[in-house]
Amino acid sequence: MDLLIELLPALFWGSVVLINVLVGGGPYNQIRGTTLGTLIIGIILLLTGNAKFDDLAVIIVGLISGAFWALGQGYQLKSISLIGVSKTMPISTGLQLVGTTLFSAIFLGEWSTGIQVTLGLVAMVLLVIGIALTSIKGKNEASGSHNK
């Protein structure tokens, strides 16, 4: 049961964009609603004592990362209205995987041996190829019809 509870944040976080699409509204309303929901949960955690802000560096890093999150989430929601969810989600998810992997390899030293670097780079190349393949238009899309 504990494992299921531990997996819920990842499951729901990955579903935020899909839930926003189902609820509707424009990208700016969607990001406003998501941010407000996140703020409410944050305040609840702060009031129950499950979140502590006793270090100024934690507050500053949190604010900076929140600003980048809001910017990225806003553009992701905007891209859904432009190219559709079926093209946005693979690109977004793939680039998140590439970005977090490269960040952990470069800044956190996750790849410490030559074989790890080699396999990691091969995996990154395959992932980028997969991302590119999701954007190839099929025969039905080539005629100019825009299926979202």
Mean pLDDT taken over the chain: 83
Tell me, yes or no, whether 79 and 9 share the same domain: yes
Q: What is the pLDDT of residues 104-113, one digit of tens each?
A: 999 999 999 9
Please indicate, yes or no, whether residues 97 and 31 belong to a single structural domain of this protein. Answer: no
Residues 107 and 123 in one domain: yes
Indicate if 68 and 93 belong to the same structural domain: no
Q: Is there a single domain that holds both residue 15 and residue 78? A: yes
Shared domain for 65 and 111, answered yes or no, is: no
CA distance 51 to 121: 37
Confidence of residue 144 (pLDDT cuts 50, 70, 90): low
**How many domains does one find in the chain?**
2
Which residue among 52, 83, 114 closes a domain? 83
CA distances from 85 to 63, 76, 81, 111 (A): 28, 10, 8, 33
- Alpha carbon 119 to chain centroid distance? 24
3-state secondary structure string across 103-136: HHHHHCCCCCCHHHHHHHHHHHHHHHHHHHHHCC
Give yes or no: residues 91 and 75 share one domain: no
Alpha helices in the chain, H assignment, sequence order: 2-23, 27-47, 56-83, 85-107, 114-134, 139-142
Instruction: For residues 97 and 73, state if they share a domain.
Output: no
Q: Is 70 helix (H, G, I), strand (E, B) or coil?
A: helix
pTM above 0.85, yes or no: no
Residue-wise pLDDT tens digits, 35-78: 888 889 888 888 887 777 788 898 899 889 888 988 888 888 88
User: The domain containing residue 8 runs over which residues?
Assistant: 1-83
Q: Which of 83, 98, 120 is the last residue of a domain?
A: 83
Q: Has residue 146 got a pLDDT over 60?
A: no
Three-state SS for 84? coil
**Residue 117 predicted with pLDDT over 80:** yes
Q: Is 133 in the same domain as 92?
A: yes
Residues 55, 100, single domain; the answer is: no
Judgement on whether residues 19 and 68 belong to the same structural domain of the protein: yes
Q: Residues 24, 61: one domain?
A: yes
Domain boundary among 63, 83, 103: 83
d(CA 124, CA 89): 18
